[in-house]
Structure 1
């Protein structure tokens, strides 16, 4: 190979990489409030799915808008963002829902032990199932 072909190849790959990076960076954000939930389940069902077979649960839930119903076991506000932990039937693990800043304003109206319906984007499983950009449905 000549030096010109190598340089051309590097420039071409750099150009393609820049285009892909630009498209990913400018990808529109999902408005959870306006989108319909892909799946609706209870907190226990979602956690059981991840505990039983994480790979299969990732295919079903990961990156999708999930509507989850459960009982509040913990309420927190960190850096003006509220988070709600939902009880499950498992000894370890729960569903952790991080609210949007706008929805966090309503967190003072919630109580531990209250049943709640939330909608958010599932980002995975780390001992708890994580939902982000959550909004309160009821």
Structure 2
């Protein structure tokens, strides 16, 4: 599957840049946002099939951002990443429409496969010119 565009929303800049590079090497186009508000703004002006979303962020937390994404962009799939294994958060996220919930640091190969799976189930089409 080609032309997968993801939005990575995470307040940890070092983590975001490393993950973006790793995913880019696997053929995924990655755009980053430093917090939920910035990520939601990007979703209003650009198309993405998948959002990778950090659970713990200042301002809006991952669950609040997830609910907003699913309300405004129901065809975008969301994979939540968290540094804390919290079953209540995982269940709340899945009930709110998350595609998956993974622990940080996520194995890049497994995450890439989950991104491909999420992109297949997303109804957002990304067409590249040329």
TM range (shorter): under 0.3
Which structure is richer in relative contact order (CA contacts within 8 A, separation 6 or more)?
Answer: 2
Q: Which has the higher helix share?
A: 2
TM-score (norm 2): 0.25
TM-score in terms of structure 1 length: 0.24
Instruction: Considering fraction of residues, name the structure with more strand.
Output: 1
